Amino acid sequence: MKGMDILLKEDRVFPPPEPFRRAANIQDPGIYEAAARDRLAFWESFARQLHWFRPWSQVLDWKVPDARWFVGGETNLSFNCLDRHLGSARRTKAAILWEGEPGEERTLTYTQLHREVCRFANGLKELGLRKGDRVTLYMPMVPELAIAMLACARIGAVHSVVFGGFSAEALRDRINDSQSKLLVTADGSWRRGTVVPLKKSADEALEGTPGVEKVVVFRRIGPSTSSGQGVPMKPGRDLWWHDLVARQSDRCEAEPLDSETMLYLLYTSGTTGKPKGIVHTTGGTMTGCYATTKWIFDIKEEDIYWCTADIGWVTGHSYVVYGPLLNGATVLMYEGAPDHPAKDRFWEIIEKYRVNIFYTAPTAIRTFMKWGDDHPGKHDLSSLRLLGSVGEPINPEAWIWYHRVIGGARCPVVDTWWQTETGHIMISPLPGLTDLKPGSATRAFPGIEADVVDDQGKSAEAGYLVIRSPWPGMMRGIYGDPERYKKQYWERFPGLYFAGDGCRKDAQGYFWLLGRVDDVLKVSGHRLSTMEIESALVDHPSVAESAVIGKPHDIKENSIVAFVTLKGSVQAAAGLPDELKAHVVKKIGSLARPDEIIFTAELPKTRSGKIMRRLLRDIAEGKALGDTTTLADASVVQALKEKYGEPE
């Protein structure tokens, strides 16, 4: 497995710095054993710290693969993120500090955020939204995205956030699969000084979404800027956010909801061409996000906390919105790119707001490393006390750089492993307790039973990462497809949750994640499916067949290489690769643009017709070819190798 050799050699250990350890939220190493002895009591102790309108009668009801947590309990996530804080000094505390890419600043206190959420929740009701209805949010990184999520949660509507980088077609598929009645979007978003035309994409998507009745448009850009020409509004369908909320009361009681009420859908890429709507429910998501934020990010009352993830991904759901607000934290939110107007924008923000906790992705860290130490060097980063990493394996070199240059060798680094499906962090250090090893996500969070198994499902030193027992924030299914849920996650190793990641466990029981073992690709921390990109390519009139693979990349973990066979009469004209790349961008979004297109007369297949991706990977990486004996027609590979893949 890739990366394994380097990881095996990594033996540096970083114990928690003494001042950090002494002040940490969790200092008792006995917690691991206590939680393992009684997992349910462990999770229950966190649930009890939150508000329930009605207590649960049973902590867990579990019959593989269906879990119900806090059975019979009634709560409301929006209430716990907002109302619960209003009776204390937190009511005047900043909940959200926002900075737009052009530099505007906004602060919303808990009281103000509560008011805005109530207004929008009333607006949703005016538009006819009821408990259980789905709402798609296609928004920039503005407070209104969090407000819309919290408003949905308040009335029991289900939000489905679609990342703003997805194309109109991808948005359309997600709206239709979720049968959303309402779309909330914006006139645009700032990114590297230009406007991302969200409403334009939304309009295109809406040409094929019969279920959508209304569209609420938040004015982010406005008609007066040079790039924002104003957006067309369709009479009877489109209405402005500001008009809708202006006429609403700022009081809206949070609805008591059964713990298993669907909270959100989040579409993610799997091993087929069709993205899956991951289902999460109320009580479990709430408890899991609350607990992990409190212990892993060691949130303190006075902290300024910044997670750079876009809310369009799960990290933004759990660790920009729900986890920190449940903890009454001050969350910093930034709209734009890290290199606008210059490559020190993040460090400028950290200095300006005195950020204490900073959570980002390895791709970003490797990019900053490449940009050089001068950029962070220009700024005072001494406010930082804890760093986090998520989304991909972090290589020890990047870890060490992050620790030294950004953290001044004083901040613990929490490398957190989890997935859209798990809902919250599963494997991570506890920063006041855990001795860190660069490149390892260290240990399972207390109450989480992670393990590594071999092909037969037996506990092993290296193999596949599995989770042995249910946890509160786990997915409850794939929207509309219970069979696929069972098959993909629970049947590979019967009764165990199959994560799809390769993993190694060292002598101390630390986990070393080794990347995906299926057809899911991580590119710059974004999750894509090779099949989805293949379907996008095959959708082009010139393409007969395609196979997409990830080729290891120094910065973004993988680059996308597409092998393509053309239809009989088509010639590979000079402009065709660019045309095919543009076609993928149109079908999915620029995040899926192939880096390389390789034309081939045929794809290497086994005698049973399966594409041999391993061979394609070898060719793309210019490696000597492995075993080709199972190949149906060896001359195919020979031809490809001669054309593209001779080892250098």
Task: Note if the bond before 197 is cis, omega within 30 degrees.
Answer: no
Element (H, E) at 171: helix 168-178
By CB atoms closer than 10 A (0-12, 13-18, 19+), residue 602 is: middle
Under rule CB under 6 A, residue 395 binds ligand WTA: no
Residue 500 contacts ligand WTA per CB under 6 A: yes
DSSP conformation letters of 78-147? HHHHTGGGTTSGGGGSEEEEEE-TTS-EEEEEHHHHHHHHHHHHHHHHHTT--TT-EEEE---SSHHHHH
Residue 320 three-state SS? helix
**Dist. CA 603–CA 633, nearest whole Å:** 10
Answer yes or no whether residue 314 interacts with ligand WTA by CB under 6 A. Answer: yes
Is position 391 an interface residue for ligand WTA (rule: CB under 6 A)? yes
Q: Which stretch binds ligand WTA (CB under 6 A): 54-62, 91-99, 128-136, 388-396?
A: 388-396
Report residue 60 as tokens.
């867990």
Rounded to a whole number of angstroms, the minimum distance from the CB of residue 419 to ligand WTA is 4
The stretch near ligand WTA (CB under 6 A) out of 110-118, 245-253, 349-357, 412-420 is: 412-420
CA distances from 88 to 91, 329, 462, 611 (A): 6, 13, 49, 61
Q: Applying CB under 6 A, does 413 fall inside the site for ligand WTA?
A: no
Residue 419 interacting with ligand WTA (CB under 6 A): yes
Q: How far is the CB of 564 from ligand WTA (least distance, A)?
A: 26
Contact set for ligand WTA, span 441-460 (CB under 6 A): 441
The DSSP result for 438-485, as a single string, is TT--BSBPTT--EEEE-TTS-B-SEEEEEE-S--TT---EETT-HHHH
Residue closest to 600 by CA, chosen among 521, 545, 542:
545
Residue 297 as a binder of ligand WTA (CB under 6 A): the answer is no
Strand 262-268 to 158-161 pairing: parallel
Cα–Cα distance, 192 to 101 (Å, whole number): 8
Nearest CA to 157 out of 95, 214, 78, 56 is that of 78
Q: Does 393 bind ligand WTA (CB under 6 A)?
A: yes
Give whichever of 3 and 376 is closer to ligand WTA, judged by the CB atom. Answer: 3
Figure out which of the listed residues 186, 513, 588, 615 binds ligand WTA, where binding follows CB under 6 A.
Answer: 513
Closer residue to ligand WTA, CB minimum distance, 300 or 468: 468
The yes or no reply on residue 276 touching ligand WTA (CB under 6 A) is no
Q: Does 516 bind ligand WTA (CB under 6 A)?
A: yes
Number of residues that bind ligand WTA (CB under 6 A): 22
Among 42, 417, 489, 510, binds ligand WTA (CB under 6 A): 417
Query: Which stretch, 51-59, 74-82, 128-136, 497-505, contacts ligand WTA (CB under 6 A)?
Result: 497-505
Q: Which residue has the tokens 């786990």?
A: 474
Residue 290 binds to ligand WTA (criterion: CB under 6 A):
no
Q: With binding defined as CB under 6 A, does residue 522 bind ligand WTA?
A: yes
Residue placing its CB nearer to ligand WTA in the complex, 314 or 331: 314
Stretch that binds ligand WTA, among 82-90, 112-120, 415-423, 570-578 (CB under 6 A): 415-423
Region 568-587 residues binding ligand WTA, contact defined as CB under 6 A = none
CB of residue 163 vs ligand WTA: minimum separation in angstroms? Answer: 10
Residues 275 and 591: their CA atoms lie apart, in Å, by 15
DSSP state of 436: B
Q: Does 439 bind ligand WTA (CB under 6 A)?
A: no
Contact status: 430 vs ligand WTA (CB under 6 A): no
Q: Which is nearer to ligand WTA, 331 or 390 (CB)?
A: 390
Residue 420 binds to ligand WTA (criterion: CB under 6 A): yes
Q: How far apart are CA 414 and CA 362, in angstroms?
A: 12
Residues that bind ligand WTA (CB under 6 A): 268, 313-315, 390-393, 415-420, 441, 499-501, 513, 516, 522, 527
